[in-house]
């Protein structure tokens, strides 16, 4: 399963939308389900518990690298930015997965990978997407397609 997260109206946050649009525009390997989630957070639990063997989560990220950097990380490699407790208003992808592990440990995919593009602009409208981010979309799509092919060979 591939879940693309992002707000198609907000500058660099539209990464997930754009990648979803491109992946949906061409055939994917047999058995791959593709979803677009305009909002992340706890709403992602529905996607996390589908029983797939592998999941790729696509999103814009802010890990401190230069804008346009493409990250491919196993879920347990994601940076921990050390917030203590979490509120319902600040539940991100990592926290959602942690909640899923507590509630549905037997239903979560054993392999979860983040493909994230480092963003810079998250407070302006879509026409303000950073050029570095826009330039990274096609390479990220190619990376995802190659990774899906590799996963398919392991089945």
Count of domains forming the chain: 1
Least confident of 8-17, 25-34, 80-89: 80-89
Beta-bridged to residue 72, according to DSSP, are 115
142 token code pair? 């190619």
pLDDT digits (tens, 9 = 90+) for 88-123: 434 667 777 778 788 877 777 888 899 999 999 989
Least confident of 27-36, 78-87, 131-140: 78-87
Arithmetic mean of pLDDT, 55-82: 88
21 token code pair? 């649009």
Instruction: Quote the pLDDT of residue 4.
Output: 93
Instruction: Quote the pLDDT of residue 148.
Output: 94
114 token code pair? 């983040």
Instruction: Quote the pLDDT of residue 88.
Output: 42
Task: pLDDT band for 85, please (50, 70, 90 cuts).
Answer: very low
Question: What range does the domain containing 42 cover?
Answer: 2-153
In this prediction the pTM is 0.86
Domain of residue 90, CATH code: 3.40.50.1450
Arithmetic mean of pLDDT, 31-54: 77
Task: pLDDT band for 41, please (50, 70, 90 cuts).
Answer: low
Q: Please report the DSSP string for the chain in residue order.
A: -EEEE--TTBGGGGHHHHHHHHHHTS---TT--EEEESS-GGGGHHHHTS--SEEEEEEEE-SSSPTT-EEEEEGGGS-----SS--TTS--HHHHHHHHHHH-TTTS-SEEEEEEEE----SSBGGG--HHHHHHHHHHHHHHHHHHHHHHHT-
């Amino acid at each position: 399963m591939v879940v693309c997260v992002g707000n198609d109206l907000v500058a660099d946050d539209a990464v997930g939308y754009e990648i979803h649009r491109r992946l949906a525009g061409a055939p994917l390997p047999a058995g791959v389900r593709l979803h677009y989630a305009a909002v992340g957070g706890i709403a992602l639990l529905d996607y996390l518990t589908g029983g797939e063997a592998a999941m790729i989560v696509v999103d814009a990220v802010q890990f401190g690298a230069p804008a346009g950097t493409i990250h491919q990380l196993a879920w347990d490699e994601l940076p921990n930015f050390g917030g203590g407790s979490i509120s319902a208003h600040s539940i991100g992808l990592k926290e959602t997965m942690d909640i899923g592990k507590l509630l549905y440990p037997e239903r979560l995919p054993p392999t979860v990978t983040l493909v994230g593009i480092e963003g810079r602009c998250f407070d302006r409208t879509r026409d303000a997407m950073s050029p570095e981010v826009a330039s990274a979309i096609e390479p990220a799509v190619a990376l995802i397609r190659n990774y899906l092919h590799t996963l398919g060979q392991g089945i």
